[in-house]
Amino acid sequence: MNHGARLVLALIRVITSTFFRRIDVVGEQHVPADGPVIFAGNHPNALMDGWLLTAKCGRWPLHFLANAKLWEYRMLGPMLDATGAVPVYRREEHDGKVDNQGAFERLYDVIESGNCVGVFPEGISHVESQLTKLKTGTARIALAVAGRGKTTVRIIPCGLNYIHRHRFRSQVLIEFGEPIVVGEEWAEKYRQDEQESVRELTELLANALLGVTLNAPDWSTLRFVQTARRLYKPKTAELSPGEYVELNRRFVDGYLQATDDPEMQAFRWGVEDYQARLDMLGIKDHQLRQPMSVGRAFRKLTLRLLTMLVFLPLAIPGALLHLPVGWIAAAVGEHFSYERDDVATLKVLSTTLLLPVIYVTIAVIVGVNYGWLLSLLAVIGLTLSFFASVRLIEAEVSLVNSMMSIVRLVRLGSELDDLRATRQQLVDSVRQLAERLSDPDTARMFTSADFRLSPRSS
């Protein structure tokens, strides 16, 4: 790896780990240490999807197929070139008159040399609550390579599951599924019937992606399922990120199979009414799991205030620089995005472009007037101040939440008691539904002992 590539990879890792507070990776054992791989992922968050796979797949370089129009952005083109991205032209953007044969030949060479390719088979980034119909390009690439007879390629389905994907310091789960091995058997199918083999492999990949992503027919159903999952899970049970996603999948499947069940319909109505009441009062479900005394709320408030005081001295020097950058990035993301899926990408690009310009300007001013050693120290100090500012903002949000909790405890006592009673009724209902509708041959994630340990506070 040359120095330019190392710098780009380091930058991508810094960007993703800064934008997201937590990035969990499941299924790393499915990614081979060497040999040709096609990483095929869902595509809900524009360029952020590619950056996350680059940062977390464990292989480098990862050559992506990317829309050729991205090279029109002067600052973005060099970064795409440094990561080995391959430009392709979309037929729908050029009246069907495109020739991507050169791009595919380049990809074939990349794969046959033992390197990796990243693709998003849905074709375009989108904001749907489920996978869209896959394009056949991924299957065609893999089968074409297999048909040339020089190597066996593995397609690894990649699920990118975001929690508040546009929000700074949110969370994401990346899940790598079991590889689809495209070798001589597939090559023979391809030689005998190209169209059928492409269709069959695309269908196999679609099913594999369904296994690593969370899909629901619409966002209201997805929200209902996530609330039901929170009500069902015992408070004492600890789940890994992958188990959380799997539990959500089971709830989606169970709901879709029982949408006409009167008890299920009544339960959904109750859950949505409960969620609406929480939204109206500004309360989260987890705040009702167990009663919180005013004394405990004040202790949390004090702890978060002390956390703010620890980071405040280091964060203040750079706050005048970093906060305006954050506001500008947020404004750019919200007002200049053509689609809802590229908001996070625009926020990151804006910040990535603005901060270096500001830092270099300050470094030059300090260097010219006070010496280049102080200039270097100033840049280091600003960088540390930036990360301190991030922690300070998180502590500030927690502090506000603690203050609001105290206000609610004082003002909403009887309302909270009523909500807790409603919640417990829903907990009992969802557990009875799960017991009645679950496939008896499916391994349970919780035992009866888990529910007995927390029967009144899930």
Q: How far apart, in Å, do the first and last CA atoms of the chain sit?
A: 50
Q: CA separation (Å) from 445 to 233, 294, 345, 439, 449?
A: 9, 35, 36, 13, 12
What is the number of helices (H) and of strands (E) in the chain? 15, 8
Say what the pLDDT of residue 96 is: 62
Asked whether the whole model's pTM tops 0.85, one would answer no
Say what the pLDDT of residue 231 is: 93
Burial of residue 454 (CB within 10 Å: 0-12, 13-18, 19+) is middle
Query: What is the separation of C-alpha 140 from the centre of its chain, rounded to a whole number of angstroms?
Result: 27
Burial of residue 156 (CB within 10 Å: 0-12, 13-18, 19+) is buried
Q: Which pair of structure tokens corresponds to residue 407?
A: 């206000």
Strand, coil or helix: 456: coil
Rounded average pLDDT per 10-residue block, the chain, 458 residues: 71 86 89 95 88 91 82 74 79 68 85 93 81 91 93 95 79 92 94 95 95 87 90 84 82 92 95 90 76 68 77 73 71 60 67 78 88 87 80 71 67 79 94 89 82 58
Q: CA separation (Å) from 90 to 123, 164, 174?
A: 9, 29, 27
Beta-strand pair 116-119/86-88: unpaired
Furthest-apart CA pair in the chain: how many Å? 76
Cα angle 261, 435, 286; round to 5 = 95
List strand residue ranges (DSSP E) for 169-311, in order. Answer: 170-176, 180-182
Nearest alpha carbon to residue 138 among 110, 104, 178: 104
Question: Residues 259, 251: contact at Cβ < 8 Å?
Answer: no
Query: Sign of torsion, CA 8 76 393 277?
Result: negative
Beta-strand pair 153-163/180-182: antiparallel
- My answer on whether omega of the bond before 78 falls inside 30° of 0, hence cis, is no
> What letter represents residue 204's amino acid?
L
> What letter represents residue 55's amino acid?
A
Phi and psi dihedrals of 335, rounded to 5?
-105, -15
List strand residue ranges (DSSP E) for 9-51, in order. Answer: 20-26, 37-41
CA–CA dist 104, 145 (Å, integer): 10
* Per-residue buried b or exposed e for 297-320, using 16+ beta carbons within 10 Å of the residue's own CB: beebbeebbebbeebeebbebbbe
Say what the pLDDT of residue 457 is: 44
Say what the pLDDT of residue 292 is: 61
What are the CB-based long-range contacts (under 8 Å, 24+) for 109-115?
A: 110/63, 110/84, 110/86, 111/36, 111/38, 111/141, 111/145, 111/151, 111/153, 112/36, 112/145, 112/148, 112/150, 112/151, 113/36, 114/34, 114/35, 114/36, 114/151, 115/36, 115/61, 115/63
CA–CA dist 351, 332 (Å, integer): 10
Bridge partners, 161 (sequence order):
173
